[in-house]
A and B are shown apart, each in its own frame.
Chain A
Amino acid sequence: MTPEFVLPPIDYAALAPILIMMGAAVLGVLVEAFVPRRLRHPIQLPLALLAVLAALTMVVVNADKRVITIGVIAIDGPTLFLQGAILALSAVALLLVGERAIERGGAFVAQAAITADSPDDRRQAANAGGAGEVYPLVTFAVGGMLIFVAANDLLTMFIALEVFSLPLYLLCALARRRRLLSQEAAMKYFLLGAYASAFFLFGVALLYGFTAGMGERPAAVDFATIHAAVANSTQSPVLLFAGMALVSIGLLFKAAAAPFHVWTPDVYQGAPTPITGFMAACTKVAAFGALLRVFHVAFEGARWDFTPVLGAVAVLTMLVGAVLAVTQTDIKRLLAYSSIANAGYLLVGVLAPGQEGLSGTMFYLVAYGFTVLAAFAVVTLVRDADGEATHLSRWAGLGRLSPVYASVFTFILLAFAGIPLTSGFMSKFAVFGPALEGGHAWLVIVGVLTSMVLAFPYLRVVVMMWLSEPGESTPTVTVPGGLTSAALVIGVLATLVLGVVPGPLLDLASGAADFVR
């Protein structure tokens, strides 16, 4: 009797969000190949947005699904919540990416192959329409992130990591102005990201070796097997610890945690601002989604072993982010260090045991994502003839010139500083509460102390905008087009609403806070 080949049962509905995004990305590539240049932008943006909305709809439809399909994709509460978060945030980011009213042709270079600072380059910077390939790249990245937070084994996770990282490396290099800075940022991000991927892969190999020591059960790198191996494996725990450390390094790099954070300020500064916002919001969600899954599902049994190390990383991250933010003079670098410090707070949430830590961290991710997108939306608006004016001294007296945007940015900064009635405060509470309950008082104390330090740079920007007189070099604030306005309104409203009535999202997060194994 010949063995019959049986297809594994595939739950297509559960995979639908991923399939939609990947399909839309492929379609976007085809559009790029066959549609005349002037029609590409009007087709690509609606296509990408529609795909995101369709995927979001499928996430909502799947809301009650709890399955592991074909063994590698776990569709459970956290997956769906984080996929929803990534999609919602990427919709807002796409609005920023697609904006063409602020600068003629948008924020992206027309042809990346043009030599920087050549006469051709100056021509493209002046009036050529931006490259259309940013849309499929963003769509691919979103698709990769959707897999990343759902991956149920380390190999799938690695593939997803590459799928969303490669488009991001490219996107970083596509700034329309200051192209050398942009290319340098992309190069740095790519090289360091490649190292991080290599660490991750090496860690996977070690963990595979570790799981081999369980007698009957074959070695594998899916999370259930690793979980069982942590409890039962006869292999040397050195394999486990080394593997765990290397995998963590790969993930912490994406999360921008110290000491793996050094790329962050350069990349955030060099990348086109809409992409910076996209990375700060969506990549954070994806990276922490993966961290949560790895530590809550695979390494749960080794909690006592990883907590001190990860705790030290969290403390270092908070300190580095907060202290270095104080010395920054560029708004994008300041926001980069602030995002590092926020990664530290999120790590506190990752370390908080149980469902409450999990739901608090997920709440934090959503709240922070919307706020940071709104922040970068404002950054795209403050500009002069040479593009965005990101040096802080240039923001002096902005409150006098355009009180509306200065007010909005002040509100965002107050949210970052964690003043109540903003989502920033609620999310700090959401991670510090469970952490304290889990006995990590030291992490909470460092969190509170660094919040004090961080308040200073935020406040300095507020002082700059409101209490200084406008100088001659104070740039104008461009009236935003409809897309940026929409992104700004969504970001600010989310920050306010989550700060005043966080209940519904907290309910949703705590209802979703249960992994399948």
Chain B
Amino acid sequence: MSDFPFLSVLTVAPLVGAVVVALLPRNRPTLAKQVALGWSLLVLALSVVMWVAFQVDGDRFQFRESYPWIPNWGVNFTFAADGIALVMLMLIAVLVPLVILASWHDAESSKRSVPVYFALLLVLECTMIGVFAAADVFLFYVFFEVMLVPMYFLIGSYGGHQRQYAAVKFFLYSLVGGLFMLAAVIGLWVVGGKTFDWVALSQVDISTGTERWLFLGFFVAFAIKAPFFPFHTWLPDAGGAAPAGAAALLVGVLDKVGTFGIIRYCLPLFPDAAQWFAPWALGLAVIGIIYAALLAVGQNDLKRLVSYTSIAHFGFIGVGLFAFTTQAGTGAVLYMVNHGLATGLLFLVVGMLIARRGSALVSDFGGAGKLVPVLAGVLFFAGLASLALPGTAPFVSEFLVLIGTFTVNKPVAVIATLGIILAAAYVLWMVQRTTQGTLNPALTEIDAMKRDLNLREKFVVAPLIALIVIFGFYPKPLTDVINPAVQATMQDVGRTDPAPSVDSVQEATR
């Protein structure tokens, strides 16, 4: 079964689905939704089969396929997945059907073609899968850039207030990063002997100066994508303007391409430069944690608030990546998955609230829990998951990151811990102002606010809640897959975990 070309089929399948959905007649929107949902469930089923077929103790890269594309430049359609890519692919496959289900009525309010909205979501899924499955730097770059196009139209055509501004800002920021990366990709190709194969490139010796420049080219692109402070300003705008489903994908998956790119490309391909730049990256990450958390506390717009919390969380992931210990690395990758689940849930729930109220402002709510108790409960749960309460999945990853960092860099770990306190502040205060306290009389006049979660919405939130709780208590299925890949990456970087503290840390995590 492992001979089956999982990755290429997974990449192409959503694209085919998108074409089918786009060709459906415009006046039959329900059919388009059903086909899109069915198609994304097919993709999910296939990726579950792939998950089962993945051998935990097997090779680092599995499901490798390679077909020639542009022989003159040594470009191939090479797909391969390590544990890190695998968990991200699973995250995409899980999130997309839920987002489609959650966005059931989103496109109708925009007066634009409904089938096109769902087709764009499927195109986005294709590019997201491709970017994580690619093992050829050129192919990765192609998906990295093409990914912008469906997202641009999702924000620009179907978004809310200030959508044009947000869409253009998103596109330009990402394109600027992408073009820096293009220069670095070409440079890597030249010094690497005209090949784009990841495995071949990871063995090339690069002179120190060149390596640092190439690292910077890649890092800037990924730091904009992730986004890290100070490249983050596009995310609150894009996240605030995008329809809730698209925003969940944007923050839940798309931004992970940045952190994934760092662990897959920046660290193993440019190990010395990565170590040289690590203090700077750690500094940016720590600033991001504190700064974004403070801004989140001050936000009055729900979607922008969630976007800022994400920037803070990306700070944690950045700390984990550049601490260069196995725990921290595993924690960072685990965080990428868990954050996708938790923030995805938070975005979707917030989206449901906003759809009912017709406003995204915190001050327009107040005591909503009295009208929609289940929805308020889910929001509370999503908030707790987002602040990494023990028992929810993000706690495990945040803990691993802090432990792994503490063994090698105490100041960073200590400062980062402050972020947890701030997280409690922004989440709890947001929950309190929207769903607790005295009922805002304006809410009672809106009929929609009296309808609690319907069956469709329950189907959206239930799987995410279940996954967050399961992985909160039993993260082993994920860590088993992630650990070998992270260890291999740390070997590429040439860092070994500090021996004495490893034992004590393992004691502590048991």
Report which A residues bind B (CB closer than 8 A): 414, 417-421, 425-426, 428-429, 432-433, 436-437, 441, 444-445, 448-449, 451-452, 455-456, 459-460, 463, 466-468, 501-503, 506-507, 510
Contacts and interface: CB of A to CB of B under 8 A. Distances in A.
Interface in B166-199: 167-168, 171-172, 175-176, 179-180, 182-183, 186-187, 189-190
Contact of A506 (B72, B171, B186): B72
B69 A503 contact: yes
A274 B125 CA distance: 40
B253 to A, nearest CB: 19
Contacts of A419: 145-146, 148-149
B90 interface: no
A456 B172 CA distance: 7
Contact of B190 (A425, A436, A501): A436
A444 B179 CA distance: 11
Contact of A503 (B71, B142, B172, B186): B71
Contacts of A428: 182
A455 B172 CA distance: 7
13 contacts: A414-B149, A425-B145, A429-B182, A433-B186, A436-B190, A444-B186, A452-B175, A455-B175, A456-B172, A466-B156, A468-B164, A503-B72, A506-B70
Interface residues on B, range: 20 to 34
Contacts of A506: 70, 72-73
Nearest to A438: B190
Interface in B63-87: 69-73
B183 A467 contact: no
Most buried by A among B146, B175, B186: B186
A496 to B, nearest CB: 13
Interface of B: 69-73, 141-142, 145-146, 148-149, 153, 156-157, 163-164, 167-168, 171-172, 175-176, 179-180, 182-183, 186-187, 189-190
Given A444-B186, A506-B73, 4 more contacts: A414-B149, A419-B146, A428-B182, A436-B190
B153 A466 contact: yes
B70 A420 contact: no
Contacts of A452: 172, 175-176, 179
What DSSP secondary structure best describes chain A's contact surface? helix
Contacts of A414: 149
A420 B145 contact: yes
B341 to A, nearest CB: 30
A421 B70 contact: no
B151 to A, nearest CB: 13
A503 B72 CA distance: 7
Contacts of A463: 156, 164, 167-168
A279 B122 CA distance: 40
A424 to B, nearest CB: 11
B35 to A, nearest CB: 21
Contacts of A433: 73, 186, 189-190
A448 B180 contact: yes
Contacts of B73: 429, 433, 506
B186 A451 contact: no
Contact of A467 (B71, B156, B175, B190): B156
A41 B186 CA distance: 50
A195 B163 CA distance: 50
Contacts of B179: 418, 448-449, 451-452
Contact of A429 (B149, B171, B175, B186): B186
B440 to A, nearest CB: 33
Contact of A420 (B141, B167, B180): B141
Nearest to B187: A436
A267 to B, nearest CB: 30
A444 B182 CA distance: 10
Contacts of B146: 419-421
Contacts of B168: 459-460, 463
B183 A444 contact: yes
Contact of A436 (B167, B175, B186): B186
Nearest to A434: B190
A314 B141 CA distance: 26
Contact of B70 (A441, A466, A468, A503): A503
Contacts of B164: 463, 467-468
A432 B186 contact: yes
A432 B156 CA distance: 32
Contacts of A448: 179-180, 182-183
A418 B149 CA distance: 12
Contacts of A425: 142, 145
Most buried by A among B141, B171, B190: B190
A157 B120 CA distance: 52
A517 to B, nearest CB: 25
Contacts of B172: 452, 455-456, 459
Nearest to A359: B72
B183 A445 contact: yes
A131 B72 CA distance: 46
A414 B150 CA distance: 12
A355 to B, nearest CB: 11
A407 B176 CA distance: 23
A510 B180 contact: no
B72 A507 contact: yes
Contacts of A426: 70
4 closest cross-chain pairs (CB), A and B: A420-B142, A506-B72, A467-B164, A448-B183
B109 to A, nearest CB: 16
Nearest to A426: B70
A418 B181 CA distance: 13
Nearest to A421: B146
B428 to A, nearest CB: 37
Contacts of B148: 419
B190 A437 contact: yes
Nearest to B217: A448
Most buried by B among A420, A449, A506: A420
Nearest to B159: A467
Nearest to A363: B72
A437 B73 CA distance: 13
Nearest to B189: A433
B54 to A, nearest CB: 29
A448 B213 CA distance: 15
Contacts of A510: 72
Contacts of A467: 156-157, 163-164, 167
Nearest to A507: B72
A426 B75 CA distance: 12
A466 B120 CA distance: 15
Contacts of B153: 466
